[in-house]
């Protein structure tokens, strides 16, 4: 491709709205342009990267035995009503009507559609296992789209769905996808980690996220280098310790109410009473599908609402309003306590071993000290309810947990029979009995993967593409297009590389060397062949590697051999990064 013929509108300035590096650089490098909030057009350079990612995905999905399909973007409401997600999905679901006033949605995902196909086409256990995938546009009406293509409303996604006769079969299909995803992101040249994750609105019994490691990542990854335990912050657990467990010699002090005027927060109360935050128990009131519940959490810990929702089997839990807190406890927010509550009380495991602790007194400007379980507080259930934090220990091996940042690029789920049961997708087993199909689903954000690569690989000059997903492998730059010998050599090298299946961009613009070099660095082409007067007089050209600035001067007759070797080296290096 010739630069003069390529639609590549690079910019010197960052867009005002860009908050993250990938958004800034994709915009400046002429890869994307905004159409509306969370909706982007991909220009030629951006589309080349997307197609590279898609090709890797297709090759690995096919290798894993999956079959490609293409499902409709617009889906009838009836299917979503059968799965009970028409209302459950909330405002993220873009609902539309046709001319006959029939309800549809623009698909954010395709569990319903693929399950409908399965229930119509799968009759016998002999037809399974099956796995179907597609690469297609989705729409989720994000309340606050941001970060460019990292969190947008319209996006390109690879989604796959497996169908098995039982949980054992699902386990095998799930493992195949786990391995395929590992190969996909490795081939893309990314450094990533696989973590345990929540299932969320998709549902199911288990899931894993594939996280590209980047300091700018939205997600917190909790991991242990000793035993390879890893989970996202919503799923992560810590080892249960009983460092302050009650013993036979521990004195249980009398319960006492104390005045705490205008002291509501943990910091205010503990400072006033001259105790540590870990000596206080917070009582948080939640509204859930199962009614109002009270949770008890140690003062220096934070509640994990996902864990509470999973424990209760609720899709949504939310902190009670000030009015509801007053109704349940008899006191304004900040003074709630567990003594005398008539609602279900759930305590975090860390609270189970606490003695003589502080709680709200369910009375304005008052707290209790020397509160003890059993004598003063009845807890209906103990569970893991808290967010892990720095200093916590691994739940598996007891070693220190590490915290890092990541970007979710892939997510795989064991769905089980959630959708097959709702939509009555069944098969006949070897004994002629009707059984529900067991399902899994597997997603990859295609554009998000490209953006994550930029977040991971960039410098102050621009993008540093891993070779496997770079829009071009090589850019040929004659430093002065007005010098005939330079242009003739550039054209010759360009043709040689094209004829040897190298993806090459020839910068044939009548621009200064500085402009050409800056643009080459901005768009992140891995290898730059520079043709200058001094070198050319000696029959030499310069090769520069974008990732480290390393330059090599070689005979121009060896250019194909040298470039091919460097491409092979960088592709191979990405597989072992």
> In CATH, what number is assigned to the domain containing residue 564?
3.40.50.800
pLDDT digits (tens, 9 = 90+) for 245-287: 444 447 889 999 999 999 999 999 999 999 999 999 999 999 9
Region 519-538 average pLDDT: 97
User: Are residues 423 and 296 located together in one domain of the fold?
Assistant: no
Would you say residue 218 lies in a domain?
A: no
- The whole-angstrom separation of Cα 521 and Cα 545 is 10
Choosing from 426, 455, 484, the residue where a domain stops is 455
Supply the pLDDT for residue 16.
83
User: Are residues 26 and 153 located together in one domain of the fold?
Assistant: yes
> In CATH, what number is assigned to the domain containing residue 351?
3.90.960.10
Would you say residue 231 lies in a domain?
A: no
Region 458-474 average pLDDT: 97
Indicate the SS3 state at residue 345.
strand
- The whole-angstrom separation of Cα 412 and Cα 97 is 32
More confident residue, 14 or 508: 508
Assign residue 227 a region (left: φ > 0; alpha: ψ between -120 and 50; beta: otherwise). alpha
- Does pLDDT of 92 surpass 90? yes
Would you say residue 460 lies in a domain?
A: no
More confident residue, 225 or 205: 225
- The whole-angstrom separation of Cα 428 and Cα 432 is 5
Supply the pLDDT for residue 15.
84
349's tokens:
């495991």
User: Are residues 505 and 373 located together in one domain of the fold?
Assistant: no
User: Are residues 17 and 146 located together in one domain of the fold?
Assistant: yes
Q: What angle do CA 216, 220, 223 make, to 5 degrees?
A: 120
User: Are residues 531 and 430 located together in one domain of the fold?
Assistant: no
- Does pLDDT of 577 surpass 60? no
User: Are residues 339 and 282 located together in one domain of the fold?
Assistant: yes
Q: Which residues have a Cβ under 8 Å from the Cβ of 497 and sit 6 or more positions away?
A: 474, 476, 504, 559, 560, 563
Would you say residue 175 lies in a domain?
A: yes
- The whole-angstrom separation of Cα 133 and Cα 135 is 7
Neighbours of 252 (CB within 10 A): 13
- The whole-angstrom separation of Cα 20 and Cα 26 is 10
Indicate the SS3 state at residue 25.
helix
Q: What angle do CA 320, 323, 325 make, to 5 degrees?
A: 50
* Total-model pTM: 0.88
Highest mean pLDDT among 131-135, 195-199, 250-254 belongs to: 131-135
Least confident of 245-254, 283-292, 554-563: 245-254
For the chain, the distance separating the N- and C-terminal CA atoms, rounded to the nearest angstrom, is: 30
Supply the pLDDT for residue 249.
43
Indicate the SS3 state at residue 136.
strand
pLDDT digits (tens, 9 = 90+) for 379-412: 999 999 999 998 899 999 999 999 999 999 999 9
User: Are residues 366 and 476 located together in one domain of the fold?
Assistant: no
How many domains does the structure of the chain reveal?
Answer: 3
Region 475-491 average pLDDT: 95
pLDDT digits (tens, 9 = 90+) for 300-353: 999 999 899 989 988 789 999 999 999 999 999 999 999 999 999 999 999 999
More confident residue, 103 or 244: 103
User: Are residues 440 and 487 located together in one domain of the fold?
Assistant: no
- The whole-angstrom separation of Cα 465 and Cα 44 is 16
pLDDT digits (tens, 9 = 90+) for 142-164: 998 989 999 999 999 999 999 99
User: Are residues 23 and 167 located together in one domain of the fold?
Assistant: yes
Supply the pLDDT for residue 242.
53
* Spatial contact of 271 and 280, defined as CB atoms under 8 Å apart: no
Would you say residue 395 lies in a domain?
A: no
Supply the pLDDT for residue 225.
85
pLDDT digits (tens, 9 = 90+) for 401-449: 999 999 999 999 999 999 999 999 999 999 999 999 999 999 999 999 9
**Nearest alpha carbon to residue 369 among 261, 244, 274:** 274
- C-alpha to C-alpha distances, 488 to 139, 322, 477, 492, 494, nearest whole angstrom: 48, 76, 12, 6, 10
Supply the pLDDT for residue 202.
62
User: Are residues 378 and 432 located together in one domain of the fold?
Assistant: no
User: Are residues 355 and 439 located together in one domain of the fold?
Assistant: no
Q: What percent of the chain has pLDDT over 70?
A: 97
Does residue 129 have a cis peptide bond before it, meaning omega lies within 30 degrees of 0? yes
Q: What is the average pLDDT value for the chain, to the nearest integer?
A: 94
CA 497 to chain CA mean position, Å:
38
Would you say residue 233 lies in a domain?
A: no
Q: Which residues have a Cβ under 8 Å from the Cβ of 168 and sit 6 or more positions away?
A: none
Supply the pLDDT for residue 245.
44
Tell me which H or E stretch contains 350: helix 349-352
User: Are residues 154 and 296 located together in one domain of the fold?
Assistant: no
Token pair 């992140």 is found at 524
Q: Say which DSSP state 58 is in.
A: H
Q: How confident is the model at residue 243 (pLDDT cuts 50, 70, 90)?
A: very low
Supply the pLDDT for residue 350.
93
Structural domain of 41: 3-191+407-455
In a 13 Å sphere around the CA of 90, the CA atoms on its Cβ side amount to: 10
- Does pLDDT of 201 surpass 70? no
> In CATH, what number is assigned to the domain containing residue 138?
3.30.930.10
Would you say residue 248 lies in a domain?
A: no
Would you say residue 220 lies in a domain?
A: no
**Nearest alpha carbon to residue 158 among 45, 234, 59, 235:** 59
């Amino acid at each position: 491709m010739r630069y003069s013929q390529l639609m590549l509108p690079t910019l010197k300035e960052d867009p005002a709205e860009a908050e993250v590096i990938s958004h800034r650089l994709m915009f400046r490098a002429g890869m994307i342009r905004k159409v509306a909030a969370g909706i982007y057009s991909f220009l030629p350079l951006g589309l080349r990267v997307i197609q590279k990612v898609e090709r890797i995905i297709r090759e690995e999905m096919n290798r894993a035995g999956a079959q490609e399909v293409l499902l409709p973007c617009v889906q009838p409401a009836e299917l979503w009503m059968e799965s009970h997600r028409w209302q459950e999905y909330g405002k993220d679901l873009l609902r539309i009507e046709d001319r006959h006033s029939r309800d549809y949605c623009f698909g954010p995902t395709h569990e319903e559609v693929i399950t409908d196909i399965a229930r119509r086409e799968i009759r016998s256990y002999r037809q399974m296992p099956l796995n179907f995938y597609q690469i297609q546009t989705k729409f989720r009406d994000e309340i606050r789209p941001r970060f460019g293509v990292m969190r947008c409303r319209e996006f390109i996604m690879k989604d796959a769905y497996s169908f098995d006769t039982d949980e054992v079969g699902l386990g095998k299909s799930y493992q195949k996808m786990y391995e395929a995803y590992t190969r996909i992101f490795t081939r893309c040249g990314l450094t990533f980690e696989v973590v345990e994750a929540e299932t969320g609105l998709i549902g199911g019994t288990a899931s894993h996220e594939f996280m590209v490691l980047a300091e700018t990542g939205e997600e917190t990854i909790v991991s242990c280098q000793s035993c390879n335990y890893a989970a996202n912050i919503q799923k992560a657990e810590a080892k249960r310790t009983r460092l302050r467990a009650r013993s036979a010699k521990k004195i249980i002090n009398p319960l006492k109410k104390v005045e705490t005027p205008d002291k509501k927060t943990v910091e205010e109360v503990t400072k006033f009473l001259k105790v540590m935050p870990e000596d206080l128990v917070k009582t948080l009131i939640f509204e859930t599908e199962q009614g109002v519940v009270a949770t008890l959490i140690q003062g220096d810990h934070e509640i994990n609402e996902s864990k509470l929702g999973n424990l209760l089997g609720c899709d949504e839990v939310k902190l009670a309003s000030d009015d509801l807190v007053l109704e349940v406890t008899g006191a304004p927010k900040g003074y709630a306590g567990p003594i005398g509550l008539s609602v279900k009380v759930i305590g975090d495991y860390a609270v189970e071993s606490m003695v003589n602790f502080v709680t709200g007194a369910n009375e304005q400007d008052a707290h209790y000290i020397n509160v003890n379980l059993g004598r003063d507080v009845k807890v209906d259930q103990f569970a893991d309810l808290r967010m892990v934090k720095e200093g916590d220990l691994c739940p598996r091996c007891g070693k220190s947990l590490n915290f890092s940042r990541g970007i979710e690029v892939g997510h795989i789920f064991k769905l089980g029979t959630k959708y097959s049961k709702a939509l009555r997708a069944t098969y006949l087993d070897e004994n002629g009995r009707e059984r529900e199909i067991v399902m899994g689903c597997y997603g990859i954000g295609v554009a998000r993967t490209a953006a994550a690569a930029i977040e991971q690989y960039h410098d102050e000059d621009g993008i540093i593409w891993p070779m496997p997903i770079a829009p071009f492998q090589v850019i040929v730059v004659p430093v002065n297009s007005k010098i005939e010998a330079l242009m003739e050599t550039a054209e010759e090298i360009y043709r040689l590389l094209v004829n040897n299946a190298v993806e090459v961009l020839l910068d044939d613009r009548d621009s200064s060397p500085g402009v050409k070099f800056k643009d080459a660095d901005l768009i992140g082409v891995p290898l730059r062949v520079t043709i200058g007067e001094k070198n050319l007089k000696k029959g030499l050209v310069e090769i520069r590697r974008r990732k480290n600035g390393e330059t090599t001067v070689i005979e121009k007759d060896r250019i194909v051999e040298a470039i091919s070797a460097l491409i092979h080296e960088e592709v191979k290096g990405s597989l072992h990064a």
